[in-house]
Structure 1
Amino acid sequence: MARPVAESQFCNRPFSVFLLPPQEVILLKSRIKPTPLLYALAFLIPALLLLVVYARLGLAPWGDNTILMSDMSSQYVEFFCALKHRDVFFSWSKALGTSYIGVFSYYVSSPLSLLTLLVPNEYMPMGLMFLTVLKVGLAGLTCCIFLRSYLRHSALFLPMLSTCYALCSYTAAYSLCIMWLDGLIWLPVILLGLERILAGQRPWLFFGSLVVCFVSTWYISYMIGIFCCVWLVYREWCEVPAWKDLLRHIRSFLLSALAALGVTAWMWVPSLLAIFSGKLGDATMDYSSLTNFPLWQLPSRLFSGQSAGLTNFAPPYLFCGTVILMLALIFFFSPAISGRNKLAAGAVLMVLVLSLWLSPLDKVWHLFKMPNWFPYRYSFVFSFFLVVLAGQVLAALPKSFTTWRLAPVVTLVLFCLTAWELGYNTQTTMLDIREVFHCQSYADYVSYYQDNEALVEQAQEADTDFYRMGATYDRGDNSPLSFGYAGITHYSSIYNKQVNTFLKQLGFAQGWMWSVYYGSTPVTDSLLGIRYVLSDQEFPGYEEAGHSGSLALWKNPDALPLAYVAQGQVSTILPRGYTPFETQTYLLNQLTGSTQEVFSPIDLEVQEGEGQIILRIHGTGNPVYAYLDQNGFTALSVDGEHRCSLTPYEEQRIHYLGTPAEGETLEVTIACNTTLSNLDWEALVQQLDQDALRDALALLDNTQVDTVNNSRVSLQATTDTPSTLVTTIPAEDGWTAYVDGKKVDTGVCWDTFLTVELTPGTHQVTFRYTSPGLTLGLGLGGITVVAFVGWLVWKRKKA
């Protein structure tokens, strides 16, 4: 289908021309530049520019600042620390023990993440900074490789173009979401593979790069897949191939994409099931508005220094260099570019602009769900396409310009100005974000990590069986994952809604995707098997087992095992409308078959004044707790000492007030910004009978747990009557139960935990976990491999 080169060297020429070895005049000099030099510059320039920006921002090791801001601080750094604990499909460190494949594949499955295994966790902020620099450099490198092949040039303007792509505004703002940067790396490689398909070559590069991209960041891969479809239409529109060739291109494109999906199904199928059970299963934003922003605001986003923010209502980040914008405009007026190419490119830009502007199209790009902050997560493809258009203009410059004596000087000056502008924009954007979210001090992070790690290691050395831990001194919301202990606290897009609801009803702090340990009592600690607590506060009835810095390690002597035989009837649902104290008593009484009230009202006086409520509590020697979850509460003080603010969600929970002795009075002051009346303080403030609690818990210490790992739980249980074995394993899909080697049905108690019915006698009970969707994913992968082998055999026989 070859035809003579027409007025444009980028439209009316064979696809195969894009892949020929370059033998063209360069912009700076008349000789061909060695490819290794081009690639080295394409990697080093954006990487070094970003390093300079980080140094100017005072990031460690050049200062005490870090990249730990927003979700990078509260989520991602902890997930990278967790890589050392080798959790993939399941983790006991995530919200009592839940599916982990969604977290693993969404945040840290990139092969580049393995480099962080070389970084001690206390130095992880620096490790992630250098990993970000590496990814930005690789994005510049892969863009240069694509442009060199696509433009059929080895000119020194290629590193300038690739730097504009690697350091576009999207990178500056969304580098906090480090896992998405893999999409910028693989987009050019995937399109290079697609270009080879269009040139009539084999699809191995397209297939292989899709596979790696799916594994690295399946979420952004979906968006890249949409852009690949747009690119395919664009290129076919430019070339107008014969119908036979067009069908062959589409067939290779689809089969390669399906094969890549098939061999990676073991990851993305379980991941999709996990994430749709979390954030993607909830409505996050109303799409009643047809447009996301006034269209007239969009052009300003193409210039540097545009602050925007990261909220759902922020406009997109589109800047990728003034030189790119100017060259993209010249593209539509250049006589060297064919009219068909201009029309096709204009159509692509129109599709991308409409996708950003119209909320229904925007929703399609985001897997049909509005993102929670960090909007327009695909906007880097807009910058990439502008860079491609700019490259076509430069490659089409007449030979007279490329041999002009001042061309090297002009190009060098332009390159330096562009580099300065990109660095300035990156620094400005990061400063704007830091002004809103602030950043974690590097010294504080190291001190926090070392203090906590010392106590966690002490607990793990003292007790080697399975137990959970809690912490009231968290730096982020994923400390169990970071330090590798089984726990409650967790925050990610892949959360268990029922576990969060259950914890909220027990009086823990909980807000949408977050669940944290704050708000515990000895009742919840014991029932959930929390044996150790890291805290800078007092825990009544617990034994101090260690100390590090300002933290103490408290041991709960009454913590129960992972499962226990109930002495009474347990319900499948958890009643609503109870206070957390009533809910805890309800659970304990169902488990023990008694009506013992471990929580009870305490004698107190209530004085309501202007902007505050004073409670005078007359001590009995029992610990006193208060549930403070009312809107309008702003601060808590005990005996004149400020305890905490009550406005953050972390503090809307049960609070331990103290253990006043008989004859002592505890004065509690609750500041409020509105008038609150008719509050039942006798129900909201309760004392705990520790002796009654220990007696009740003694009835439940009736199992022997043998094995607990990420795929299997094995225990022995003895009962004299038909009974229910209650576990504190969240009842997610994927668990299968066996009693004495025979598969049995599992049940659910309180809408949350797995149960098994037992007959009288001593039984060996085993629970096995297989990630939901893993079997299907492996099956799809097997079918793909078998089909591929069959195709190879058929091709050989045909040959």
Structure 2
Amino acid sequence: MTRLISFTKRHYPLLLSFWLPFLLMGGYFAARQMFPFGHSSLLTVDLGQQYIDFFAFYRDTLLHHPSQILYSFSKAIGGDMFGVWAYYLFSPFNLILLLTPGKWLTAGIMLITLMKYGCAGLSFGWLLKKTATAKGLYIPALATSYALMGWMVANQLNLIWLDAVVLLPLIVLAVERLFTGASYLRYSLILAAALIINYYMSYMICLFLALYILWALARHFTSWRQTAQVFGKFVLGSLLGVAAAAIVLLPTFYSLTQSKAQYTVTTVHWKFEYAPLKMLSKLIVGAFNFDQMPTGFPNIFVGSIVLSGFLLYFGLKSLRWRERIAAAIVTAILLLSLCFEPLDLLWHAMQFPIWYPYRFSFVVCFWFVWLAAISLQHLPRLQLPAGIVLVGLFAASFYYVWTNLKSFNYLNQTAVKLSLLFTGLALVLLAFKATPSPLLPFTILALVVVEMGANAILSLNQISYVNQADYADYTADLVKAVNKVKQGTRNTDFYRLEKTFMRTKNDSMEAGYNSASHFSSTFESRIPNFMGAIGQPAGDGFIAYANGTLFSDAFLGMKYYLARNSSWIESPSRNNNPLLPPLTDKPDLSYYNQTKQTKQIKIYKNPYALNLGFAASAKILKANTNTSYPTVYQSNVFNALVGTTNYTALFTPELFNTVTYSNVKQRKAPLTQTYRKIKKNKPATITYTFTPPTNDPYYLSIGSNLNSKAVSFSVNGKALQQYDTFRDTVIVDLAAAQKNKPLKLTITLNQNEVWLQNFQLNHFHTAAFSAGIRQLQASPWKLTKNQNINLSGHITIAKAKQVMMTTIPATDGWRATVDGKTVKIKTALDTFIAIPLNKGSHTVTLRYWPPYLNLGILITASTLGIDLGYAYYRHRRRKARTHLF
């Protein structure tokens, strides 16, 4: 007990630096009744739609399937995972998730969030203490300002980025120690750790360090020789830090060339993105809401004490002029980066962010707090001239925000008045800074805690969150159904599974099955491009496999389908918030066989599903894919696979029986399909009727402009379920097994003018499809080994000029052997692996290893060897000096 008391007395500033942010945010989460404290959760936007599923995948990988670190078929139809891990999952904080299974995963996410808040405060407090920049209660005051800065609060949902805030003060501390004779080692190793944990945010840290070292050299300048030595250590440490992280950076860089790098902006506009004065609104408490997520201003709130200290820094005559001039230059560059497009693009690696703009503003907040700490260290008290200047600056800022309040929908008069009060108190406290009273540091800390807490509360109160039950109950029911499917399969069976309902596009990673849907920032562009070509909703970074046809399901091996159990009656308490959110209508499920069911979900087995690999005509290597019509594309693929001499159209256009218009007229231009409302303020509909003459499926194709903003579809009075975001023409499952049953399709115009782009009814020819599929099913690749990175099996080729066609995406990481001999992999449809084979029986093995991973391992190992050798040399040298004296 005595030791604990002694430890607390010696380290209470650091303990407070950790626990104040932790408890402040923990108290807020508890008050908002976030699980495990109530019915809500921290899940919102990407945290609820993307990261939560990756975290479940993280647990499954570490506990059950370690090969998924490199590759997984839960990522769409299969994909490299190393880049996903590098962007989303390498944080050491994630190990906490191993302790929180099932519904407790959201509690694990909360604990990680609180730990990152606390560790951000602790790391900044450590920087202050080790550089003797602050002491006593000033340490937790500044640390709390840093840990609860506006960027942190606004981006707590981007949990994967928060490690950068924890690591930045430690990296800066290592840089500062270069000026006190330390070697490059500590700086190099912690920079390498940052790059490994999250290379994306660490890229921004590296840019900031390039500015920081220039200021630090000016600040610590004693001679040109000293400057050259420190700069040399900084450059060497930076290069070796990057080299030490090569094990992650090299394979990740390759992955980016297949995904995000393809969206790099090549045309730069030399302009301001908004009036820079609007940034002043972000210095007010609570300056955040949902609208600021997709397109907003930089989140730079740091509190009135820090802002005052930062501004006073530039007028402190106790600091050398060269230091203040260097700081002014760095500040100007940082502020300009927050509003000038070319610099903004540079910080984001030449790609405009999709949502969450100005992601680098955490380094700006760090800069504000760090300079404020230095300022408060040298400031005896707020002098009258400086006080007048500050009052003038703050008065002008508040006047600007107040008079333009209507332009800032995330602010209100109460928030401005609160900020005015906090600023006034801060100036009064700084005026009494020289007072020896022990109450002053405590009062400053109290002001910081109240102000930063108020900002967090006001900001986060404007965001809605996913109900815990919506996540936990859905996941439990999905896992139960998936496990029922798995009970009837063997470990060597490979199959894909899809659903007519969806919570997120990464449900497969949450529940551990192979699918075709996916959403991530590191998604290879080739797969969404293919999915768009066959009529699926797809875009940059996502696929929602919502529009499968009998052929696309069969080709991609969708052996099982999950659909809502129609006999299950949902609890009325859920109102319009269904447990199984509908994704698509799928009448052609009538061609599949129902096998099992749970209370909520029916399980269907697809009798047409092809194996992961199968014998197909070599014509598939030269299939015609030059079409923007998904029905034609699918027919072309079918014919190439089967090797038909006479082309068989799987889909043929059909005419509707009748069409009627209500408050709609067609434009007079010939062959146009553009329709206008006659009376703009009245409902307008186009109604088509059709009676299927066969039980075959009938699919409707609609162009990319026909989303819910333009039109609404209903079939026989019931709203048609269709995923709303798509950039290509998609195929909608309209009817199946409905011979002689009238169908009425109603299109309601939601705009005054609508172009019915690529609007066409298509008849699917089941007989021709079935005959071709039976032929392709006759020679499957029967797996004897089914692992993510190691697939092996037997196949019999009955005809000459055939290939083993697979639905494994072709990437450079795959290597193939046939009967023990290495063979060259071909690419079919610009997407899939295909292997030419001779007639007869063969054993085909495919193994995956991320490109450049071996080179990365070699560079990392060599660099760490150099570091170890240098550390040993320094140790021996210090030991020798000790003996001399």
TM-score, length of structure 2 as denominator length: 0.81
Q: Give yes or no for the alignment of 1:241 onto 2:222.
A: yes
Q: Contact conserved, 2:537 with 2:723, CA < 8 A, in 1?
A: no
Q: Give yes or no for the alignment of 1:755 onto 2:834.
A: yes
Q: Distance in 1 between matches of 2:233 and 2:18?
A: 31
SS in 2 for 1:607: strand
Return the letter of the residue paired with 1:496: E
Q: Which moved more, 1:446-455 or 1:31-40?
A: 31-40
Decide which of 75, 100, 104 is 2:50's aligned counterpart: 75
Q: Give yes or no for the alignment of 1:426 onto 2:503.
A: no
Q: Give yes or no for the alignment of 1:523 onto 2:551.
A: yes
Which residue does 1:322 correspond to in 2?
A: 304
Which residue does 1:767 correspond to in 2?
A: 846
Gaps of at least 5 residues in structure 1 are 1-30
Which residue does 2:861 correspond to in 1?
A: 782
SS in 2 for 1:584: helix
Decide which of 699, 716, 720 is 2:775's aligned counterpart: 699
Q: Give yes or no for the alignment of 1:740 onto 2:816.
A: no
Q: Contact conserved, 1:489 with 1:517, CA < 8 A, in 2?
A: yes
Which residue does 1:717 correspond to in 2?
A: 795
Q: Displacement of 1:629 after TM fit? A: 2.8
Q: Contact conserved, 1:90 with 1:100, CA < 8 A, in 2?
A: yes
Q: Contact conserved, 1:596 with 1:692, CA < 8 A, in 2?
A: yes
Decide which of 488, 491, 497 is 1:462's aligned counterpart: 488
Which residue does 1:51 correspond to in 2?
A: 26
SS in 1 for 2:329: helix
Q: Contact conserved, 2:28 with 2:457, CA < 8 A, in 1?
A: yes
Alpha-carbon spacing, 1:363–1:312, altered in 2? closer, same or farther (3 Å): farther
List aligned pairs for 1:619-768, cutoff 5 A: 619=692, 620-629=694-703, 631-632=705-706, 634-644=711-721, 647-649=724-726, 653-672=730-749, 673=751, 684-701=760-777, 702-703=779-780, 704-719=782-797, 720-768=799-847
Q: Which moved more, 1:366-375 or 1:731-740?
A: 366-375
Q: Displacement of 1:61 after TM fit? A: 3.0
Return the letter of the residue paired with 2:323: N
Which residue does 2:150 correspond to in 1?
A: 169
Q: Distance in 1 between matches of 2:757 and 2:168?
A: 58
Q: Contact conserved, 2:270 with 2:341, CA < 8 A, in 1?
A: yes
Alpha-carbon spacing, 1:450–1:248, altered in 2? closer, same or farther (3 Å): same
List aligned pairs for 1:190-339, cutoff 5 A: 190-283=171-264, 287-307=268-288, 309-310=291-292, 313-339=295-321
Q: Over residues 175-223 of structure 1, what are the superposed CA-to-partner deviations in whole Å (9 max), with x where a residue is unaligned?
A: 1111111001011111111122210023333233222212211111111
Return the letter of the residue paired with 2:525: K
Q: Displacement of 1:427 after TM fit? A: 2.0
Q: Contact conserved, 1:81 with 1:482, CA < 8 A, in 2?
A: yes
Alpha-carbon spacing, 1:181–1:680, altered in 2? closer, same or farther (3 Å): closer
Gaps of at least 5 residues in structure 2 are 1-5, 62-67, 382-430, 565-584, 665-683, 881-885
Q: Distance in 1 between matches of 2:330 and 2:757?
A: 61
List aligned pairs for 1:521-600, cutoff 5 A: 521-536=549-564, 539-567=589-617, 569-572=619-622, 574-594=624-644, 595-600=647-652
Q: Displacement of 1:235 after TM fit? A: 1.6
Return the letter of the residue paired with 1:166: A
Which residue does 1:484 correspond to in 2?
A: 512
Q: Displacement of 1:402 after TM fit? A: 7.4
SS in 2 for 1:34: helix
Return the letter of the residue paired with 1:195: E
Q: Displacement of 1:358 after TM fit? A: 2.2
Alpha-carbon spacing, 1:97–1:220, altered in 2? closer, same or farther (3 Å): same
Q: Distance in 2 between matches of 1:680 and 1:205?
A: 61
Q: Give yes or no for the alignment of 1:105 onto 2:86.
A: yes
Q: Distance in 2 between matches of 1:150 and 1:667?
A: 75
Q: Distance in 2 between matches of 1:570 and 1:92?
A: 23
Return the letter of the residue paired with 2:796: T
Alpha-carbon spacing, 1:236–1:677, altered in 2? closer, same or farther (3 Å): closer
Decide which of 438, 447, 450 is 1:408's aligned counterpart: 438
Q: Displacement of 1:286 after TM fit? A: 6.1
SS in 1 for 2:689: strand
Alpha-carbon spacing, 1:286–1:57, altered in 2? closer, same or farther (3 Å): farther
Q: Over residues 619-651 of structure 1, what are the superposed CA-to-partner deviations in whole Å (9 max), with x where a residue is unaligned?
A: 212222212335245222111222236754399
List aligned pairs for 1:15-34, cutoff 5 A: 34=9
Aligned length: 762
Q: Over residues 241-276 of structure 1, what are the superposed CA-to-partner deviations in whole Å (9 max), with x where a residue is unaligned?
A: 323322221222222222222222111111122123
Q: Give yes or no for the alignment of 1:615 onto 2:694.
A: no
Return the letter of the residue paired with 2:281: S
Q: Distance in 1 between matches of 2:362 and 2:876?
A: 45
Q: Distance in 2 between matches of 1:786 and 1:648?
A: 50
Q: Displacement of 1:674 after TM fit? A: 5.4
Which residue does 1:19 correspond to in 2?
A: none
TM-score, length of structure 1 as denominator length: 0.90
Q: Give yes or no for the alignment of 1:119 onto 2:100.
A: yes
Q: Give yes or no for the alignment of 1:444 onto 2:470.
A: yes
Q: Contact conserved, 2:689 with 2:742, CA < 8 A, in 1?
A: yes
Q: Distance in 2 between matches of 1:186 and 1:312?
A: 26
Alpha-carbon spacing, 1:118–1:685, altered in 2? closer, same or farther (3 Å): same
Q: Displacement of 1:280 after TM fit? A: 2.9
SS in 2 for 1:728: strand
Return the letter of the residue paired with 2:340: L
Q: Which moved more, 1:131-140 or 1:119-128?
A: 119-128
Q: Contact conserved, 1:57 with 1:427, CA < 8 A, in 2?
A: no
Q: Give yes or no for the alignment of 1:140 onto 2:121.
A: yes
Q: Distance in 2 between matches of 1:295 and 1:675?
A: 38
Q: Distance in 1 between matches of 2:559 and 2:292?
A: 39
Q: Contact conserved, 2:716 with 2:745, CA < 8 A, in 1?
A: yes
Q: Contact conserved, 1:284 with 1:371, CA < 8 A, in 2?
A: no
Q: Over residues 644-684 of structure 1, what are the superposed CA-to-partner deviations in whole Å (9 max), with x where a residue is unaligned?
A: 36754399732222335433222222223456678776xx3
List aligned pairs for 1:376-391, cutoff 5 A: 376-391=358-373
Which residue does 1:395 correspond to in 2?
A: 377
Which residue does 1:13 correspond to in 2?
A: none
Q: Contact conserved, 1:35 with 1:154, CA < 8 A, in 2?
A: no
Alpha-carbon spacing, 1:600–1:424, altered in 2? closer, same or farther (3 Å): same
Alpha-carbon spacing, 1:183–1:145, altered in 2? closer, same or farther (3 Å): same
Q: Distance in 1 between matches of 2:104 and 2:433?
A: 48
Which residue does 2:656 correspond to in 1?
A: 604
Q: Over residues 309-329 of structure 1, what are the superposed CA-to-partner deviations in whole Å (9 max), with x where a residue is unaligned?
A: 445642111111111111222
Return the letter of the residue paired with 1:756: I
Decide which of 493, 497, 508 is 2:525's aligned counterpart: 497
Q: Distance in 1 between matches of 2:534 and 2:516?
A: 13
Q: Which moved more, 1:395-404 or 1:422-431?
A: 395-404
Q: Displacement of 1:775 after TM fit? A: 2.2
Return the letter of the residue paired with 2:311: L
Q: Which moved more, 1:390-399 or 1:715-724?
A: 390-399
Q: Contact conserved, 1:106 with 1:219, CA < 8 A, in 2?
A: yes
Identity, % of aligned positions: 27
SS in 2 for 1:46: helix
Q: Distance in 2 between matches of 1:413 and 1:337?
A: 27
Q: Over residues 341-399 of structure 1, what are the superposed CA-to-partner deviations in whole Å (9 max), with x where a residue is unaligned?
A: 33332222122112223222222222232222212212111211221222223323559
Q: Contact conserved, 2:538 with 2:725, CA < 8 A, in 1?
A: no
Q: Over residues 761-782 of structure 1, what are the superposed CA-to-partner deviations in whole Å (9 max), with x where a residue is unaligned?
A: 2111112211122122122223
Return the letter of the residue paired with 1:624: Y
Q: Displacement of 1:794 after TM fit? A: 6.9
Q: Distance in 2 between matches of 1:690 and 1:348?
A: 68
Which residue does 1:65 correspond to in 2?
A: 40
Q: Displacement of 1:429 after TM fit? A: 2.0
Q: Over residues 467-508 of structure 1, what are the superposed CA-to-partner deviations in whole Å (9 max), with x where a residue is unaligned?
A: 111123111121112222111111111112121111112111
Q: Displacement of 1:35 after TM fit? A: 3.6
Alpha-carbon spacing, 1:561–1:226, altered in 2? closer, same or farther (3 Å): same
Which residue does 1:12 correspond to in 2?
A: none
The Cα RMSD (Å) is 2.7
